[in-house]
Homo-oligomer: A and B are copies of this chain.
């Protein structure tokens, strides 16, 4: 991508004007939060549709998974530390309002100004919107330059991801100095939130790549959701409600003080060759995954939540769970106990022109769809990297999936009222 520089002076002035407007709006936000929240007359109380923004941890990690995501990665455009901090303060104030179901500013008002809120979420439920912010490696050093005096504060756990076997990462969907994971039970609410945050950062940051996604579940039956391969996905996730498990695997520890209580996010859009997958026999699909398609039970078991029996052999002496099956390669027992909190969504970008070297052996329009893989962990070196290093080489599923982009981000701990996202990073530097 070769982008001409945007007019930074104009951009900065615009950004600072927005910041002033928003600061004024934000100063009255806490007191009016409930009074102004959207969805005045619903069966569900507004409170039930609101996930608190402020807290020990950022929302959107331990939060039960919503039905939609809008994931966005940004490049920081400013080279001034104070402008970066100002933007994070603006984002914090806006995120707190958006999470309550409030517009960033009223839709009506001074007609001679650009509306501060674009308006498409007006009247909608807060939809359990969560906004989770992360810092990419480029915030600490980029092209050898330490733009913000943060180089020495880069956590050891925020490693550049190695090149994995089979990676086909394209620049337009890879990297980012910052990221926002917007999740909500309404795609319009998630998109609206990122759009407002992007607008408020004009001149200070710009969108680099983005991917919307969805994950449907039946709220009545609480079944584990299925991804586009048709299999249940997430059965073996760590228990979000268990603080010990979350502390052991998901929350960052004290080794990098400003990250304590935060988490590291690995985001990878993974294209699935659906037309190819759909031509595989049922028994083969189940061997690839290591589970039965209908029930989600491990091969050889009856119940979805039955433990994997990694030692079971069939009558011929072959393992019931094939050596290269997806669930076996991901099993904690075979990865030094590693676990990651997966919070993935399916994506569907319509069609794209694809040359298939497998059935159906053709060049044609095919589904541009797959999995927006999102996972949180206390240290990627003991999480995603450990698990995927081997999986990328041996997983039978690799015949059907391609990692096409992504990034790694340090998501700082939660924000307290009056503070801002990542404050400890800047306060201590």
Question: Interface of A with B (CB < 8 Å)?
Answer: 1-7, 11, 38-44, 70, 106-115, 117-125, 172, 186-189, 191, 195, 199, 202, 206-212, 214-221, 223, 226-231, 274, 277-286, 292-295, 346, 348-351, 353, 360-367, 369
Q: Is the CB of B108 within 8 A of A294?
A: yes
Write the nearest CB–CB distance from A40 to chain B, whole angstroms: 7
Q: Is the CB of B1 within 8 A of A207?
A: no
Q: Is the CB of B281 within 8 A of A112?
A: yes
A-B contact pairs, 13 of them (CB 8 A): A3-B363, A6-B362, A111-B282, A112-B281, A115-B278, A117-B230, A119-B229, A125-B218, A188-B215, A195-B274, A207-B351, A207-B364, A212-B350
Question: Which B residues are in CB contact (< 8 Å) with A11?
Answer: 360
Which residue among A41, A109, A191, A218 has the maximum number of chain B CB atoms within 10 Å of its CB?
A218
Q: Is the CB of B230 within 8 A of A118?
A: yes
Residue of B nearest to A230 (CB): B119
Question: Which B residues are in CB contact (< 8 Å) with A188?
Answer: 214-216, 226, 346
Which residue among A188, A207, A210, A223 has the maximum number of chain B CB atoms within 10 Å of its CB?
A188
A371 to B120 CA separation, bound complex (whole angstroms): 13
A120 to B206 CA separation, bound complex (whole angstroms): 35
Partner of A109, one of B41, B123, B282: B282
Q: Is the CB of B114 within 8 A of A279?
A: yes
Question: Which B residues are in CB contact (< 8 Å) with A202?
Answer: 360
Partner of A348, one of B187, B219, B274: B187
Q: Is the CB of B364 within 8 A of A120?
A: no
Write the nearest CB–CB distance from A317 to chain B, whole angstroms: 20
How many copies of this chain does one complex carry?
2
Which residue among A38, A186, A293, A350 has the maximum number of chain B CB atoms within 10 Å of its CB?
A350
Interface pairs A-B: 3 shortest CB-CB: A119-B230, A111-B283, A42-B220
Question: Which B residues are in CB contact (< 8 Å) with A295?
Answer: 108
Q: Is the CB of A108 within 8 A of B293?
A: yes
Residue of B nearest to A215 (CB): B188
Question: Which B residues are in CB contact (< 8 Å) with A1?
Answer: 353, 365
Q: Is the CB of A353 within 8 A of B294?
A: no
Write the nearest CB–CB distance from A231 to chain B, whole angstroms: 7
Residue of B nearest to A208 (CB): B365
Partner of A123, one of B41, B112, B223: B223
Partner of A41, one of B38, B209, B220, B353: B220
Q: Is the CB of A107 within 8 A of B230?
A: yes
Residue of B nearest to A186 (CB): B216
A346 to B120 CA separation, bound complex (whole angstroms): 10
A108 to B207 CA separation, bound complex (whole angstroms): 44
With A282-B109, A282-B110 known as contacts, the answer to whether A362 contacts B294 (CB < 8 A) is no
A107 to B215 CA separation, bound complex (whole angstroms): 19
Q: Is the CB of B216 within 8 A of A282?
A: no
Partner of A361, one of B6, B117, B280: B6
Question: Which B residues are in CB contact (< 8 Å) with A221?
Answer: 39-42, 123
Partner of A172, one of B114, B365, B366: B365
Residue of B nearest to A209 (CB): B351
Question: Which B residues are in CB contact (< 8 Å) with A44?
Answer: 220
Residue of B nearest to A220 (CB): B42
Q: Is the CB of B208 within 8 A of A3?
A: no
Question: Which B residues are in CB contact (< 8 Å) with A212?
Answer: 348, 350
Question: Which B residues are in CB contact (< 8 Å) with A227?
Answer: 120
